[in-house]
Amino acid sequence: MHRDDEQLALRQLYKYLGSSWFSRAWAFQEVVLPLRSGILIGISAIPLEGLYWICGMIDWIEREGVLPPPVGPDDITLSSRGRRIVPIMQRTWKSLHLPEDPQSVPYHSITQLLSSISPNMQTSVPQDRIYAFLGLNLDPRIVIEPNYRDSELEVQVCTAKAIVQGSNRLDIFECLCRAGDRDQDWPFSRRRPTWAPEFTREEHLSSFSISEALSRQPQGGSNMYPRIGKCDSKTLTVHGRRIDRIRSRIDPMERTYFDFSHYVTSAVQGCEPSQRQVPRPTAQTVLAAILAQGHCDNGLVARCFSKTELLGGILMSVVRLYLDRIETKSGVNKEVVTFQCWEELQEVISSLYHVAYKHYLSVTDEGRMALGCTLEPGDEIWVLHGCTKPVALRPANEGTYCVQETCFLEGWMDPWGAGMVDWGEEDGVELKLV
């Protein structure tokens, strides 16, 4: 970018951080910050080095009116996807405030805004989460205008439609994908989705100051959690929040867990989790798994979207097509789906089975699926400041948590739910709890 564009982008960022629409930390983490800042997937948990850099740049611009000389194009905080979404944010911001003079709209300074965000506050609404997923997609052909008048389901349908039409494929979520015949026993492997940032680099991990009461410890003003041992629950509460709990492991021999028709029926009928015998993924979660990496006929889904059919109905059609082997009760013309489509669908379902069998897939209280060979029922999932991903901790006696072997949570599977899709690398290193 030219220097004038850089200055304009940072000025716009300052305004959006103070607006009512963009004062939610979740959208701030997932849309605006660059890949290298190592944004934590979670609520109000952004590595300090990224925030310090942004604060410094904005403060300098407010004082001097220009960018500092040492800053070059490679140091600009906004990523390419952030710059692409700036016009959308600008129009949304103006539509909400509708001021005659944009400069007359009061907004907090970035320091006040960030200090007002606490781990206990809700920082996003479902529409924000969906639009942020769209912002993570690096394909410039996929464009959508945020519309908060639409319901969550309507936003899902419009977003999915934009992705399908813009990319001409169904690569919505790459939560499962093929990686070649590495060996006969394990033909499927996980990898990071192409549209998702990289969260696992060492430079993204940082220490942070703790409260005044805890800063009197001999170590000084920061606390480093050990790789093994125990950590105090009070300290954990200061630095993060518990977001979920492992309920049970999935038995791959238990067909109930892989009966997609039952999942979809429960989700579409709006069954509450308390009414189900076991936690089940949402309809959108199953859709993401089945349609991952384009495992479906694009023409069929495009026709469904063109008729503004609800996402749940689309999913029901796809699953019924697979389970009923294109029987007449599916209500879909057999000619629109090829035999190769069925083979690919079966491979996706088979890969789910292999993941559960090889990597101990567990179900949480919130209905997520969590990967981790050391996870046990009762383990708690925490979001901690400075960590690159949520971590699993095992409760011990007297208000402490065991760190050994439980802090590495391999991945989530909840694309449209309360958490993001985040698959750990095959040879991932245990996280530093800092």
Residue 144 confidence (pLDDT): 67
Rounded to two decimals, the pTM is 0.32
Residue 269 CA, distance from chain mean position: 25
Q: Report d(CA 402, CA 384) in Å as an integer.
A: 15
Q: Are the C-beta atoms of residues 325 and 302 closer than 8 Å to each other?
A: no
Reported as half-sphere exposure (CB side, CA atoms, 13 A), residue 198 has a value of 8
Residue type, 372: G
Q: Give one word for 98, left, alpha or beta, with left for phi > 0 and alpha for psi -120 to 50.
A: left
pLDDT digit of tens for each residue in the chain (434 aa)?
A: 344 554 554 555 554 444 443 334 444 444 444 333 333 322 333 333 444 455 555 555 556 655 444 333 333 344 444 444 444 444 444 444 444 554 543 433 444 434 444 434 444 456 655 665 554 454 567 666 667 677 776 776 676 666 656 665 544 433 222 222 333 333 333 333 343 333 333 332 222 222 322 332 333 333 333 344 667 777 677 667 788 888 877 655 554 444 444 443 443 343 333 443 433 444 334 444 444 333 344 444 444 434 433 433 444 444 444 444 333 333 444 444 444 444 544 444 454 445 444 445 677 777 666 766 677 888 888 876 655 567 778 888 777 887 655 555 655 543 333 333 333 333 333 333 33
Predicted pLDDT of residue 396: 82
In DSSP notation, 21-77 reads TT--HHHIIIIIS-GGG---SSSS---HHHHHHHHHHHHHHHHHSS--TT--GGG-S
